[in-house]
Amino acid sequence: MKKTGAQILCESLIREGVEVIFGILGGAVLPIYDTFPQYPQLRHILVRHEQGAAHAADGYARAVHKAGVCIATSGPGATNLVTGIANAYMDSSPMVAITGQVARPFIGKDAFQEADITGITLPITKHNYLVAGAAELAKTIKEAFHIAQTGRPGPVLIDIPRDVQEEKAEFVYPDKVDLPGYKFVSKGHSVQIKRAVKLLKEAARPVIIAGRGIIISQAYDELKELAEKAQIPVINTLLGIGAFPGDHVLNFGMLGMHGLAYANLAVQNADVVIAIGMRFDDRATANTKDFAPQASIIHIDIDPAEIGKNVPIDIPIVGDVKSVLKAMNKEIESRNHLDWLSQLEQWRSEHPSLEIRQNDGLLPQYVIRQISEATRGDAIIVTGVGQNQMWAAQHYIYTKPNSLISSGGLGTMGFELPAAIGAKVGRPEETVWCVAGDGGFQMTIQELATIAQENIAIKIAIINNGYLGMVRQWQELFYQHRYVDTKLWNPDFVQIAEAYDIPGVRVKHREEVIPAIQKAMDYPGPFLIDFIVEPEENVYPMVQPGESLSQILELPKPEVPSKY
């Protein structure tokens, strides 16, 4: 039976297992929205800005390991998605973005609300399509989901002209894709795996650097087996948080610009680095010329273009992390590295990067630590960008797999609130905390309405330092305290929340922290806490731009170490 393009779209989405779509309507997607009532199994969540739709789809995708779907109208609707698409692209998040386009006869005529969205998103999508007719739609959607979700995941955009949505065509959903130019290797090369195993056998000071690839490939058990069997300490990138339990004895935390001192020292003194599902981002490696200077590097990644892109690699293994680790674990021998591990423990005690100093004011690190305690490290944390993000990465003890959702590659302020919505929609049984910056929160603050309308029970912690804090920190350190335009006038966030029918409290003192967090957790719906923290608190440790991972700025030294 013939169906309209809009019906074909909905049927295809259902066949792909889609349950939720985030979006906003407009002229060029009206035929699609008009068919939604025929498909009640597709839940549409109305957001307040298309950027929110894209971030929500991204947060959803990261939480549930399948493509998130967002939809926007042509022109401004489509261009509003761009930041969210770029964000998903940088962090290899699977997404299918659907945009309406002006009807085919109007394309290229600068018609009302026409934007060349396939052209615009060319460098920030894994692939994109402008659908030429309804007959192509099913095949296109099949391909889009396949591309988005396999290999190294990423966003795919499908631009559908309005008249294609209304055009009728025979609906047959293909069960296979035919993409001669799309390939990825899952199984690692056996010779390379043997070489890696041999190198690890001879290693005296090995470290694992765990990246988001482990989470994407859900290779938590395989990573744990490797680390435990060969007794290799595990360091993680920002997005590698949640690849390995935060409370494991072999966990030595995050490396990089704001990595823990002992994590950076471990990498700099290692003789073998095994980098798994990570891409040597400059925030993780610092100056690459002096990155892991004593180490031979094994790099496991599914994307061959990542091998040797930023750092020379001794043993590349292209393949799916899970499959490669499985193969390695079969051959790896039990080892112990007692001297090396005790050296790391010594660095850990000499450089207590997670110690929170005693202070009369309210320290943001303390706030994060209390959220960690209250949730027993078991919540999903979605962060903003800047200082709040770094403190959330450092001071929350992530015990559960895939429990941090953060904008790593693009560093998109405003990601936090909509991404938290997506995460909660994807995993409603989990406690989801949105750790927001007072600056970033205001970039997507309108999504409070989405939360209210859909009763999305996330807990919001604003780390309110009254500054674009991370930028202020750079001005303090590198521009001699000249705080040009980083001070924020802020609205009353609690009143704002109340205006959206979301209860909230303001916390200014240390002793109010625990009760406020408890109140938020006890409340059965969304809740906001505005933490008024020390305005000029800095994130340490810090490796200054251009310097190597060994040059760690640890100031200010803890005055009086507190319990935390």
Residues forming the site for other proteins (CB under 8 A): 118-119, 122-123, 126-127, 130, 147, 179-182, 303-305, 308-309
Please list the alpha-helical segments (H only) found in 231-386.
261-269, 282-285, 321-331, 338-350, 364-374
Q: Does 530 sit near ligand TPP (CB under 6 A)?
A: no
- C-beta of 410 vs 420, nearer to other proteins: 410
Q: Does 259 sit near ligand TPP (CB under 6 A)?
A: no
User: How many chain residues interact with ligand TPP (CB under 6 A)?
Assistant: 20
Compute how many other C-beta atoms are within 10 angstroms of the C-beta atom of residue 333: 9
Residue 509 burial (10 A CB sphere; 0-12, 13-18, 19+): exposed
Q: Does 526 sit near ligand TPP (CB under 6 A)?
A: no
Residue recorded with tokens 């320290």: 363
Q: Does 465 sit near Mg ion (CB under 5 A)?
A: yes
258 strand-pairing partners? none
What tokens were used for 424? Answer: 């909660």
Q: Does 177 sit near ligand TPP (CB under 6 A)?
A: no
276, 392, 405, 468: residue in contact with ligand TPP (rule CB under 6 A): 468
- Rounded to the nearest whole angstrom, what is the least distance from the CB of residue 440 to ligand TPP in the complex? 3
Residue recorded with tokens 């630590």: 369
Question: What is the identity of the amino acid at 291?
Answer: F
Q: Does 413 sit near ligand TPP (CB under 6 A)?
A: yes
Q: Does 440 sit near ligand TPP (CB under 6 A)?
A: yes
Among other proteins, ligand TPP, Mg ion, none, what binds residue 411 when CB lies within 5 to 8 Å by partner kind?
A: ligand TPP
What tokens were used for 244? Answer: 């390995």
Nearest to residue 225, comparing CAs of 362, 373, 328, 103? 328
Piece of 281-289, 376-384, 457-465, 535-543 that binds Mg ion (CB under 5 A)? 457-465
- C-beta of 178 vs 485, nearer to ligand TPP: 485
Site for Mg ion in 426-445 (CB under 5 A): 437-439
Residue 298 burial (10 A CB sphere; 0-12, 13-18, 19+): buried
Q: Give the whole-angstrom CA distance, residue 240 versus residue 49.
A: 29
- Rounded to the nearest whole angstrom, what is the least distance from the CB of residue 24 to ligand TPP in the complex? 20
- C-beta of 119 vs 561, nearer to other proteins: 119
Which segments within 287-442 are labelled E, that is strand? Answer: 296-301, 315-318, 380-383, 404-405, 432-437
- Rounded to the nearest whole angstrom, what is the least distance from the CB of residue 151 to other proteins in the complex? 9
The sign of the torsion formed by the CA atoms of 448, 98, 148, 426 equals positive
- Half-sphere exposure of 525 toward its Cβ, with a 13 Å CA cutoff? 13
Among Mg ion, other proteins, ligand TPP, none, what binds residue 440 when CB lies within 5 to 8 Å by partner kind?
A: ligand TPP
Q: Does 469 sit near Mg ion (CB under 5 A)?
A: yes
Of all residues in the chain, what percent are helix, strand and coil, respectively (each to 5)? Answer: 40, 20, 40
- Rounded to the nearest whole angstrom, what is the least distance from the CB of residue 463 to other proteins in the complex? 35
361, 411, 525, 558: residue in contact with ligand TPP (rule CB under 6 A): 411
Q: Does 530 sit near Mg ion (CB under 5 A)?
A: no
Residue recorded with tokens 């590198």: 478
What tokens were used for 276? Answer: 């798994």
- Rounded to the nearest whole angstrom, what is the least distance from the CB of residue 18 to ligand TPP in the complex? 28
Which segments within 404-467 are labelled E, that is strand? Answer: 404-405, 432-437, 459-464
Piece of 119-127, 213-221, 446-454, 468-476 that binds Mg ion (CB under 5 A)? 468-476
Among other proteins, ligand TPP, Mg ion, none, what binds residue 412 when CB lies within 5 to 8 Å by partner kind?
A: ligand TPP
Site for ligand TPP in 381-410 (CB under 6 A): 384-388
Helix or strand or coil: residue 348?
Answer: helix
- In angstroms, the Cα distances linking 127 to 8, 58, 184, 280 are 21, 16, 15, 24
Among other proteins, ligand TPP, Mg ion, none, what binds residue 470 when CB lies within 5 to 8 Å by partner kind?
A: ligand TPP
Q: What are phi and psi of 157, to 5 degrees?
A: -110, 140
- C-beta of 306 vs 537, nearer to other proteins: 306
Among Mg ion, ligand TPP, other proteins, none, what binds residue 361 when CB lies within 5 to 8 Å by partner kind?
A: none
Q: Does 439 sit near ligand TPP (CB under 6 A)?
A: yes
Compute how many other C-beta atoms are within 10 angstroms of the C-beta atom of residue 417: 28
Residue recorded with tokens 């599914």: 302
Q: Does 304 sit near ligand TPP (CB under 6 A)?
A: no
Residue recorded with tokens 């998605």: 81
Give the footprint of Mg ion on this chain (CB under 5 A): 437-439, 465, 467, 469
Give the footprint of ligand TPP on this chain (CB under 6 A): 384-388, 411-414, 437-440, 463, 465, 467-471
